Amino acid sequence: MRIAVCVKHAVDETELKTDSAGNPQLKGAATKISTFDKNAVEEALRLKASHSGEVVIVTVGTPEAKKSMKEALAMGADRGVLVNADPMSMETRRTSELLAAAIRKGAPYDLVLCAEGSSDNYSCLVPPMLGEQLGLPYVGYARKIEVSGQSARVERALEDSVEVIEAPLPAVVSVVSEINEPRYPTLIQIMQAGKKPMEEVSPEAILPGLTAAPSFVRGMKAQAMARKRVVFEGPPDETAKKLLDALASEGVLPR
């Protein structure tokens, strides 16, 4: 079974600072493998353990993204393909086009796995776009994947229910973090990951005739969210009721 896993070298949202206007300072920001991508890598490795085969990491990023690719390789992936481009300067459509081109170049794959979204932008748009670009069925927000023969049975975690979908392979599946607990690569695996094959390709090499993207990212702004700072005073049974009423009026709880 050949599995491609899309991994993003993301801004470390836990270390991200904002300027005086509240805008994220992306220049020089700390980076890391997108948190949820580790769940996708883990799931691929588990499927490989059951069905044998190969796990290939596909990344669109600057050469710095090799750090995240190495982490995925240390977890146990077999090799990596880096499309050399800056994903922070492009919007999701171009990212998905480049990922799709790299996946087509390395085809055939039985499964393409992604996280539900990246831990920095979290637009959740790349996986469905990727399905469209590749002309493959797309199943999103998987909390369980079982592969049998040429089909996958996928449990989707929806807001108030669980949906079970059977999809023919190959398919694109995005996973949620509850699907598994990503393994820690040991220190020896980290040291050895650098020796695994990492191919670097240019966007032009995999998408000949590439023209400027129809849309691009001009900048990012943080949306200010003022807290309401409501304080309920009084004995606990009264304040609890006031809190429940307030949550219901805000739509957090059903009335």
Partner 1 sequence: MAIYSAEHRRLMEMFYPAHHHEYSEVLTSLGGFMEKEILPISPKLDTGEAKIAGPRKALLEHGMCQIPFSEKYGGLGLPFSVYANAVEMLGTADASICLSVEIHNAVAEGLSRFGSEYQRKKYLPKLLSGNSLASFTLTEPASGSDAGTMATTAEKKGSEYSISGSKMFITNAGEADLYLVFAKTRKGPSCFMVEAPNPGLSFGGDLRKLGMKGSRTSEVVFSDCRVPEGNLVGEEGKGADYAKEILHGARIIVAALNVGIAQIAYEKSVAYARQRKAFGRSIAEFQLIREKIADMKTEIDAGRLLYFYASRIKESGADYSSEASQAKVFATEMSLRVCDSAIQIHGGYGYTTDELHRHWRDARLLTIGEGTSEVLRMLIARRELARSQ
Q: In the complex, which residues of this chain contact partner 1 (CB under 8 A)?
A: 14-15, 67, 70-71, 74, 184-188, 190-191, 194
Question: Shortest approach of partner 1 to residue 84 CB, angstroms?
Answer: 18
Question: Shortest approach of partner 1 to residue 80 CB, angstroms?
Answer: 15
How is the beta sheet containing 111-115 ordered, strand by strand? 162-168, 151-157, 138-148, 171-175, 111-115, 2-6, 54-61, 79-84, 198-201
Q: How far is CA 232 from the centre of its chain?
A: 40
Closer to partner 1 at the Cβ: 192 or 215?
192
Question: Shortest approach of partner 1 to residue 12 CB, angstroms?
Answer: 9
Tokens of 76: 């146990």
Question: Shortest approach of partner 1 to residue 127 CB, angstroms?
Answer: 26
**Sign of torsion over alpha carbons 14, 59, 52, 192:** negative
Closer to partner 1 at the Cβ: 33 or 154?
33
In angstroms, rounded to a whole number, what is the distance separating the alpha carbons of residues 224 and 210? 37
Closer to partner 1 at the Cβ: 82 or 129?
82
- The 3-state DSSP class for residue 40 equals helix
Closer to partner 1 at the Cβ: 190 or 205?
190
